[in-house]
Structure 1
């Protein structure tokens, strides 16, 4: 996908996905043909064959407190960042929206990179710092137990900064080097693992505007939180398309897990009932408070074991308006009778999700290419584990064939 134009390479990506679609031989061919391929170039995922909760590619200290999905993500993205850092001569990695610091910890204490972590939530930063110290102590104990383990130099845990990054302005803290050398300028690599909404856009703008930033590896998420205008579209090419607008519902749908839901459809289990129940709850909320849009409703465990009126009562208590008393149970049961239609509607909407995500990511890719930078989109996570699995990689100098090495598995 690297190149200076907006036409040739998006078509190439489409042809690759079209080949996959022809092999499927289903009515989904058009959707697959138009979307970027989400299939990574490695077997899915061999690291969990021995134990589904522990990646065999991460040592035990780096797995602690980390769920399997996150284990897979930090290892894959961390290894890509390490390769990209070596190729571009970066002196420092900046992890933006670092959360509890799992990725930063692996890159710094596992891969030996100099890492600054920026996170806006003070509580998450404090948690990350405690986990850093816990990991350092564990690694020191392992070295004492096994003298054959040789530490080649001092360990540098991530340097954590509490800071909200404004997508509309440059963040000076993000650009400050941890170490300065009179002989050379800092060369920064920006990364973000599922940076939410406009935070991914902020990474792109810092990459484009700041000479200190020479490389980017960004995995986006939460497209429904993009500012409009400002977060989409970014490129002139997409802005020139007729009907390029993406309403909230489409952007929200692009964040769902297509592969996971396809598996649920094949099993045809009672968990599919969730969508019908949620639709019924939305109807009740809008009747009670018509001006309320997109209300936040807390997750309810084991929905399929509840009666629909029990689910609605719990949903209203978890953030919606007070329930109209009594609930119209007959109307709720009538909603429940539409369960198959709701599943069919949701399935059709989900079929379009990769196309919407492709348009958003293509817009970002072309935005970088229009300014003369080198960029590619690489599927680096197993989509079954991590549905948002495309990383946008960009450099200010050409990498040529080296781009293809970034997504390969390390031995």
Structure 2
């Protein structure tokens, strides 16, 4: 039980912490991408400013000034004279045609590519107008690509005026992620390893007191059960001796019968507790062999046939028309599970009720059923019916059962790699089943 609890807590704790770490990494990664995009934008602006200054000073050798920016930074340049005629245009190929990008940039910036006059207007002091540069505009392409564009007007030292347009393709998200993915993946997996290790240590430390208490409890139950066997045996022997004396006293005989019944009841309880103690200690042994299912079902039917007749209960055996496959398992342990089911059905069935035994083979699974038409099981009791000492009869009116039988069936099925369960019988009652995967020797 503690192992299952540990696994669940470990999974929940690790999942919750890793979810928080993943969110933090995601936020940091988005900030890094945003910062990188801003840095890229700033770099483009700086390169544009440098290029404009160079063209302003060296208007006679414009191609030599533009080429380094094209080759190193993949900046697209379109330079036009005052009449709107291209002086220079880059040959850089973008996913979207340059003409469409230039048209969209022109719409956003509200500028005209052609200048109206060749000579820039002079200011009040007779000096030529200064070079102007607009801000950065973001342009969307046709293939999920995005660009930055900068329009500018250059007044060269020679007195000529040029219209300059610069374009720069932004890195897409995947290109940006590639530079960070490996680092953050290493951080994530390292965090996962640390969280798994730390949570393992913390949970083990936290569950140690509970584990010690449960271990002591199991040891106490096992020891007490063993110790109770001897005095119970002595009591039963002496009760048989008293009963054999032939003392004609009705009160004495009644007391002896009561004591005998209680001793037998205590003996069954001790036997069940020993079985569960053996399960907890992992000392149960299996003697696996090939089991003929038809023979097993017939044996179960014959075992309970007379008992059902005495209680006025109709017992039926439903054998399949098709032959069952051979099941490789521990026959005695399987029979013990079915006996528990039968005892439970007999206990909760009234006279003239029906109990049915059957098995079904579906695919690679064989399922055994014990179907009764008794009082059934309340919906709120079903999740706990296989728990130890759980009793649906809250008044504990029935003193012959202790709520251990079904829990023993569950432990036995677990040992045999099977699965127990219960469902409602159509028309009223309960259907207990145990399913086993078929396996060969």
TM-score (norm: length of structure 1): 0.21
Higher relative contact order (CA 8 A, sep 6+): 1
Higher share in strand: 2
Higher share in helix: 2
**Larger Cα Rg: Structure 1 or Structure 2?**
2
